């Protein structure tokens, strides 16, 4: 690694050194309380899969490059110089961390390993070593934002092709489109994923509730956040913000996608509209009596996986239980659940990167947790979790049906009494 | 040798206190002036007032209690004993009296040192076991050893005083240490040997030397968590 590249990486590192991150890097006492927190370590007890093990790769660089004691007596904290070899180690731990932040709930200080790994990811981007597939997907999202007019017609046509399936779940009011797009002064802008599974159930539910809504042109998923590029993360979210402002909506509902929800809700600063997850929207409709669901339509034993970015990192936990209370009479909680729930092992871009072999190995503990419930249906509210849980279902022969919460609700919709 | 003892017992104490105070303040200012994190670092659910919750997290360490109860027990014991230890050292100053002025004992009558020694031995032994051994760096061992020897020499001074029955159980009395510290506080630069007569003076010098090293290293070490544990816990609470 030449001096110029080292200097550039050092600059990137420094750009992430907020007061919080500095404290996270300086205060760790190596007590080891966080070690069992990571699902990857619990499934495969190797230190590089633990929170402190991952953080140390960055912490040692920090001591060497940003603290005088690291330069004067680096051996004290085993400080290391930026090098090609060390970047290999950084890669190994950065993109195997799902950013679930379960370890934050173990650490006595609340050290946030996800923030430390965001430095690792930025360094890898700077060194051109990030997973190219994630960067490519992020660039595609940004390009779509830049050329939205060119794709509007084909998008509208594709969406119209889904309307029949929406109507099959819930008839539309006369004069209203089943999937409204570009509705000025809509109350709610729904941001889906690029797939009909993310549009049809939500459309049926919102139509049943009589919502004045509009479908966003853009997909919710934020590959910029997965790859760890703050600029691309912002650009991808900004497309949706601009659309919401243009339409004058009061609320932006993010589909069942954990990272998209967390980025839009917590990382984009003050916004002129409210950001909610679609789980919150469904719970609100039920609370207000705007939709009714028949629990007899979900007769199998059901359990629910709290997506990390929506629950522990987003605060949406009890809303899911509200929905489940209406949805089924045979609900069983995963143990542990809510804030302590095990990560599915698919977040942080791992699903998009493929990495199936690692994902299956590192989520053995998740599979065991799910199997212990004896449930026949495993519901969740995140695309990544759904894909990962479906893979686990197959790999560990759990014999379950993995379903989106919105899909179960839309299948059980009944007319108000 | 007496000159070395004097340097350790008087000028180095001032140096250590100055490095510690300036170092800690400078670190806290640097952390305070660093850019604010651009987004919330909260973990949910958030119940109750944030500040009180963070105080509870900092001093009660509930996450450790839940996941590592034995470690939590020793951590709590250690930190409580350390607080008592600080109070008992302040109690030595003639102007600050917590126990009666004529009391021959320090607060805890030696029990504090025993508790700290046990806790530090536990922390040290724990570091030799996997997986903690693998995450331990030299500074972790050195800090623990420094603290352990600091506490052991402190306890030795206490025991040495009690063992001399001819002098009523105390050779260098608590009041003698008070005179030494009072001299330091009033910048009299007197030779401590004039008030600390005991034959185990070398242990006292060693204890002060280790305490000086501890104070000098504090701002550059993980012991800074003393000052930043609360702000970090506030971040987890969404502050």
pLDDT in tens, A201-221: 999 999 999 999 999 999 999
A217: left (phi over 0), alpha (psi -120 to 50) or beta: alpha
Whether residues A337 and A238 share a domain: the answer is no
Q: How far is A162 from chain B (nearest CA, A)?
A: 37
Cα–Cα–Cα angle for A184, A186, A191, nearest 5°?
A: 100
Q: CATH for B2-236, among 3.40.50.150, 1.20.950.20, 2.60.40.10, 3.40.50.620?
A: 1.20.950.20
List chain B residues with CB under 8 Å of A50: 131, 135
- Look at residue B158 in the predicted model and tell me its pLDDT: 86
Instruction: Give contacts of B 125-144 with A, CB under 8 A.
Output: 131-132, 134-140, 142
Q: What band does B101 get if pLDDT is binned at 50, 70 and 90?
A: confident
Mean pLDDT of A371-389: 98
Q: Which residues contact A250 (CB under 8 A, 6 or more apart)?
A: A187, A188, A273, A274
For the segment A18-70, what is each residue's pLDDT rounded down to a tens digit? 999 999 999 999 999 999 999 999 999 999 999 999 999 999 999 999 999 99
| Interchain contact, B38 vs A33, CB within 8 Å | no
For position A324, which CATH number holds? 3.40.50.10700
| Interchain contact, B46 vs A315, CB within 8 Å | yes
Whether residues A118 and A219 share a domain: the answer is no
Q: Which of A68, A112, A338 sits opposite B41 (nearest CB)?
A: A112
Question: Terminal CA-to-CA distance of chain B, rounded, Å?
Answer: 54
Whether residues A233 and A297 share a domain: the answer is no
Helix axes A132-146, A148-160, angle to 10 degrees: 90
Q: Which of B131, B137, B235 sits opposite A110 (nearest CB)?
A: B235
| Interchain contact, B37 vs A33, CB within 8 Å | no
Q: Does A358 touch chain B (CB under 8 A)?
A: no
Instruction: Give contacts of A 114-133 with B, CB under 8 A.
Output: 115
For the segment B37-82, what is each residue's pLDDT rounded down to a tens digit? 999 999 999 888 999 999 999 999 999 999 999 999 999 999 999 9
- Dig out the tokens for A361 from the structure: 């190995």
Give the residue among A377, A342, A345 at the shortest CA–CA distance from A363.
A345
pLDDT averaged over chain A? 96
- pLDDT over 70 (residue A417): no
Whether residues A139 and A121 share a domain: the answer is no
- Dig out the tokens for A210 from the structure: 């009589």
Domain boundaries in chain B? 2-236
- Look at residue B30 in the predicted model and tell me its pLDDT: 97
Q: Which of A23, A47, A314 sits opposite B131 (nearest CB)?
A: A47
Q: How far is B132 from chain A (nearest CA, A)?
A: 6
Instruction: Give the total number of structural domains in chain A.
Output: 3
Task: Show the domain range for A15.
Answer: 3-130
Whether residues A107 and A140 share a domain: the answer is no
Q: How far is A229 from chain B (nearest CA, A)?
A: 14
- Dig out the tokens for A404 from the structure: 């989106």
Q: Does B31 touch chain A (CB under 8 A)?
A: yes
Q: Hey, of B232, B233, B234, B237, which one would you mutate to test binding to chain A, going by the most A CBs within 10 A of its CB?
A: B232
Whether residues A203 and A95 share a domain: the answer is no
| Interchain contact, B135 vs A26, CB within 8 Å | no
For the segment A251-278, what is each residue's pLDDT rounded down to a tens digit? 999 999 999 999 999 999 999 999 999 9
| Interchain contact, B134 vs A47, CB within 8 Å | yes
Is A407:A170 a contact under the CB 8 Å cutoff? no
For the segment A225-236, what is each residue's pLDDT rounded down to a tens digit? 999 999 999 999
List chain B residues with CB under 8 Å of A20: 37, 41, 232, 235
Whether residues A210 and A330 share a domain: the answer is no
Q: How far is A34 from chain B (nearest CA, A)?
A: 9
- pLDDT over 70 (residue B239): yes
- pLDDT over 80 (residue B161): no
ipTM above 0.90, yes or no: yes
- Dig out the tokens for B152 from the structure: 């052991």
Whether residues A88 and A203 share a domain: the answer is no
pLDDT averaged over chain B? 94
| Interchain contact, A33 vs B71, CB within 8 Å | yes
Give the residue among A53, A46, A48, A49 at the shortest CA–CA distance from A32.
A53
- pLDDT over 80 (residue B164): no
For position A49, which CATH number holds? 1.10.1060
Q: What percent of chain A has pLDDT over 70?
A: 99
């Amino acid at each position: 690694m030449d001096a110029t590249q080292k200097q550039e990486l050092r600059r990137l590192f420094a750009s992430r050194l907020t007061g919080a991150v500095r404290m996270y890097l300086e205060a760790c006492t190596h007590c080891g309380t966080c070690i069992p927190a990571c699902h990857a370590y619990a499934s495969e007890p190797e230190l590089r899969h633990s929170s402190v093990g991952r953080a140390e790769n960055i912490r040692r660089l920090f001591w060497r490059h940003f603290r005088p004691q690291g330069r004067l007596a680096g051996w004290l904290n085993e400080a290391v110089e930026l090098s090609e070899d060390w970047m290999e180690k950084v890669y190994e731990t950065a993109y195997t961390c799902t950013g679930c932040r379960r370890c934050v709930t173990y650490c006595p200080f609340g050290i946030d390993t996800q923030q430390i790994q965001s430095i690792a990811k930025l360094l890898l981007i700077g060194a051109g070593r990030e997973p190219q597939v994630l960067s490519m997907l992020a660039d595609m999202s940004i390009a779509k934002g830049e050329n939205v007019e060119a794709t509007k017609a084909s998008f509208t046509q594709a969406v119209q092709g889904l309307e029949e399936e929406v109507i099959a779940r819930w008839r539309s009011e006369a004069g209203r489109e089943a999937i409204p797009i570009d509705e000025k002064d809509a109350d709610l802008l729904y941001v889906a994923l690029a797939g009909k599974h993310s549009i049809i159930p939500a459309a049926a539910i919102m139509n049943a509730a009589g919502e004045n809504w509009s479908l966003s042109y853009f997909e919710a998923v934020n590959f910029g956040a997965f790859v760890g590029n703050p600029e691309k993360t912002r650009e991808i979210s900004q497309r949706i913000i601009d659309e919401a402002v243009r339409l004058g909506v009061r609320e932006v509902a993010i589909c069942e996608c954990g990272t998209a929800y967390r980025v839009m809700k917590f990382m984009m600063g003050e916004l002129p509209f409210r950001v909610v997850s679609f789980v919150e929207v469904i719970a609100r409709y039920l609370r207000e009596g705007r939709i009714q669901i028949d629990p007899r339509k979900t007769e199998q034993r059901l359990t629910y996986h709290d997506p990390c970015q929506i629950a522990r990192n987003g605060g949406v936990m009890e809303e899911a239980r509200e929905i489940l209370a209406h949805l089924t009479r045979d609900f069983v909680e995963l143990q542990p659940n809510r804030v302590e729930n095990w990560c599915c092992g698919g977040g942080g871009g791992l699903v998009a990167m493929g990495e199936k072999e690692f994902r299956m190995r590192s989520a053995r503990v998740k599979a065991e947790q799910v199997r212990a419930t004896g449930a026949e249906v495993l519901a969740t509210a995140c695309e990544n979790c759904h894909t990962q849980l479906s893979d686990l279902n197959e790999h560990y022969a759990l014999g379950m049906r993995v379903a989106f919460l919105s899909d179960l609700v839309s299948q059980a919709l009944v007319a108000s009494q | 040798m007496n000159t070395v003892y004097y340097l350790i017992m008087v000028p180095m104490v001032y140096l250590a206190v100055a490095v510690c105070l300036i170092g800690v303040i400078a670190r806290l200012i640097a952390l305070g002036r660093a850019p604010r994190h651009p987004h919330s670092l909260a973990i949910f659910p958030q119940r109750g007032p944030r500040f009180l919750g963070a105080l509870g997290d900092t001093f009660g360490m509930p996450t450790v209690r839940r996941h590592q109860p034995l470690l939590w027990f020793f951590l709590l014991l250690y930190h409580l004993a350390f607080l008592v230890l600080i109070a008992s050292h302040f109690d030595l100053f003639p102007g600050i009296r917590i126990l009666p002025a004529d009391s021959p004992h320090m607060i805890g009558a030696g029990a504090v040192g025993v508790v700290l020694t046990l806790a530090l031995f536990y922390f040290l032994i724990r570091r030799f076991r996997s997986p903690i051994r693998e995450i331990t760096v030299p500074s972790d061992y050195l800090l623990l050893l420094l603290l352990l020897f600091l506490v052991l020499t402190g306890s030795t001074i206490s025991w040495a005083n009690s063992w001399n029955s001819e002098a009523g159980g105390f050779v260098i009395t608590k009041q003698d240490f008070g005179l030494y510290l009072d001299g330091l506080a009033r910048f009299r630069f007197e030779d401590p040997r004039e008030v600390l007569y005991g034959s185990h003076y070398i242990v006292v010098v060693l204890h002060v030397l280790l305490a000086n090293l501890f104070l000098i290293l504090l701002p550059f070490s993980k012991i800074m968590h003393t000052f930043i544990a609360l702000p970090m816990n506030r971040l987890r609470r969404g502050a």
